[in-house]
């Protein structure tokens, strides 16, 4: 094992993505590049480390990539299924954090409430990683911009259009985009805009990296000249009862060939998956040469391995 420790000091947890500045993100991407190119260098880097995984929501990519990630680094994942009894119902979140801290070296939590996640981190003495909450999905967005850097050489100055619901993925794309100096353009229906406080904070951070955060109503305006077009499901987990109503409202925001025609000629398409083909995106776009959704999926593994190395080493 020839792994090197991070050159920068990282915050103890990754809860929103805003904890890390542009230099931290650059360091993360540098490490993820090396992890991806030379995985053998990191075998055993986290030997003897245990990772508790608290999941209130179902998962394919997040669970598999974290479990494979920690195992490939020599550690062990302990999966805690909280789908039937949410975090804090059986015992207090504070006590869960205190207890787990006596046994494991890190906690990955995929939860509904950002508040629950932050309470967990406040009472745990080990790093807590947000694997998705109602407000943020930092691991996804970091992997997305890592993927954009692979495609364009640098994400600085890249125009990324996000079309659809102003949800957790949208929030994290703004935060990560601000860190790397990208131009993030968001188009949502009225009433489904991203959280105003997240927008304000991302714009403030983007000013330091010469990036921008713009909000639009018309998807064609956001996509115009964009080098990357991104969408997500119209109804997230926990919003199933709204799915039918949202389908009618979001129909004009479908990413299809007609909308992609407004983007740059070499624009690429991204989606965090799972995708509802025929709803937020057509199969024609999903399966086209422009689509890099499975490159994103692969890079979740490499970026999350780098996150684990940053926080658990």
Indicate which residues carry an active-site annotation: 110, 137, 140, 232, 272, 300
Q: How far apart are CA 9 and CA 4, in angstroms?
A: 13
Bridge-based pairing state of the strands 212-216 and 183-187: parallel
Rg value, the chain, Cα: 19
By CB atoms closer than 10 A (0-12, 13-18, 19+), residue 38 is exposed
CB 172 within 8 A of CB 140: yes
Q: How far apart are CA 175 and CA 220, in angstroms?
A: 23
Q: How many CB atoms lie within 10 A of CB 113?
A: 17
By CB atoms closer than 10 A (0-12, 13-18, 19+), residue 10 is middle
């Amino acid at each position: 094992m020839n792994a090197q420790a991070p050159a920068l000091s990282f915050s103890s947890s990754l809860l929103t993505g805003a904890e890390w500045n542009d230099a931290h993100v650059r360091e993360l991407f540098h490490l993820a590049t090396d992890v991806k190119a030379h995985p053998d260098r990191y075998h055993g880097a986290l030997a003897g480390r245990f990772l508790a995984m608290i999941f209130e929501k179902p998962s394919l990519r997040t669970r598999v990539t974290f479990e494979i990630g920690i195992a490939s680094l020599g550690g062990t994942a302990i999966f805690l299924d909280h789908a039937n009894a949410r975090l804090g119902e059986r015992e207090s979140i504070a006590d869960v954090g205190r207890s787990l801290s006596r046994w494991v070296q890190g906690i990955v939590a995929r939860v509904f409430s950002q508040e629950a996640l932050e309470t967990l981190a406040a009472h745990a003495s080990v790093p807590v990683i947000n694997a998705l909450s109602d407000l943020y999905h930092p691991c996804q967005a970091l992997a997305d911009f890592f993927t954009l850097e692979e495609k364009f050489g640098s994400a600085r100055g890249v125009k990324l259009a996000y079309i659809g619901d102003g949800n957790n993925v949208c929030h994290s794309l703004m935060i990560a985009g601000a860190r790397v100096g990208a131009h993030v353009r968001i188009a949502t229906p009225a009433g489904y805009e991203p959280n105003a406080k997240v927008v304000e904070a991302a714009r403030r951070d983007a000013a330091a990296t010469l990036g921008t955060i713009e909000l639009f109503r018309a998807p064609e305006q956001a996509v115009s000249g964009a080098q990357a077009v991104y969408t997500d499901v119209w109804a997230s987990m926990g919003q199933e009862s709204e799915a039918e109503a949202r389908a009618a409202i979001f129909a004009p925001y479908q990413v299809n060939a007609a909308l992609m025609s407004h983007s740059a000629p070499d624009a690429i398409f991204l989606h965090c998956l799972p995708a509802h083909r025929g709803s937020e995106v057509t199969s024609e776009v999903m399966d086209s040469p422009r689509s890099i959704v499975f490159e994103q999926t692969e890079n979740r593994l490499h970026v999350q391995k780098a996150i684990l190395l940053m926080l658990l080493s």
